[in-house]
Structure 1
Amino acid sequence: MKVVVFSDSHGNVRNMEEVVRRDRPDLVLHLGDVNPDAQALQRQFPELPMDWVCGNCDGRRPDLQTEKVLLIQGHRVLMMHGHTREVKFGVEQAVWAAREARAEVLLFGHTHVPVCTYENGLWLLNPGTIRGGWQGASYGVISAEGKNLVCYTLRYE
């Protein structure tokens, strides 16, 4: 199963559409900022499963969670934007939440900086921003086949 992970699109739906057309994922996740972009992408690809959480630029939305645990091929994944866990100042609070959720993967955004590491049985994946910025546009990928799971980031070009 191939999962594409976006964050911090801030109005750039076009880049997400191109990635989906090119990479042909089985699932798309959006980590917030801005949810209407995720909804627009869902309208473009109504047959493609998608899920998203709320970011700091999405306002307080009682209909959207700021954190969510998903099962992907039997692997527990905690997705969040990260602002409520103050990831701009370090990932400790977010990692603690992932450990509490017994997650194998922690997905977070907010910093606009792509990061992918594996530490003590936990993948930490921040896809960066698909909109682009001083470090360019980027996104994340989770590849899961049975017990095997790998995460990585890619530059959008």
Structure 2
Amino acid sequence: MKHFSAEWKIQHGGRGLHELTEKLQDWLQSIGAREGLVNVFVPHTSASLIIQENADPDVQRDILGYFARLVPDDDPHFYHRNEGPDDMSAHLRCVLTQNSLVIPVREGRAALGVWQGVFLFEHRTRPLTRQVLLSFQGATGEF
């Protein structure tokens, strides 16, 4: 059994779903992953990870709209406002999602469903650079 790890810096334009699927599949191929598990982790409290449909952009718009209604920016009930009106709402949106994904790897690829994609879900409105940590454990080599 082999173990590989990597760190990515993801720059983006702010709040939204930023797809990582192709980058993840390319990384697995580059290390010769065959069968095992890949863990994707973001060490942040205002960005998270989700697996979601990546075919119809309306799904992403609806997710963003739902979170905007569920946890609005600048809610007058929030005490924590240190970094602006989107600060506490970003923390709460992160609590409602996840910081880590574990995905099976089969035949050298993350075993995602036909319409599934891996997304960095940025909850802050300004452009940022986020860290994504990857870890693969399993078999490598030729098929």
Same structural fold, with TM-score higher than 0.5 when normalized by the shorter chain? no
**TM-score (normalised: structure 1):** 0.27
Give the number of the structure whose residues are more often strand, by fraction: 2
**TM-score (normalised: structure 2):** 0.29
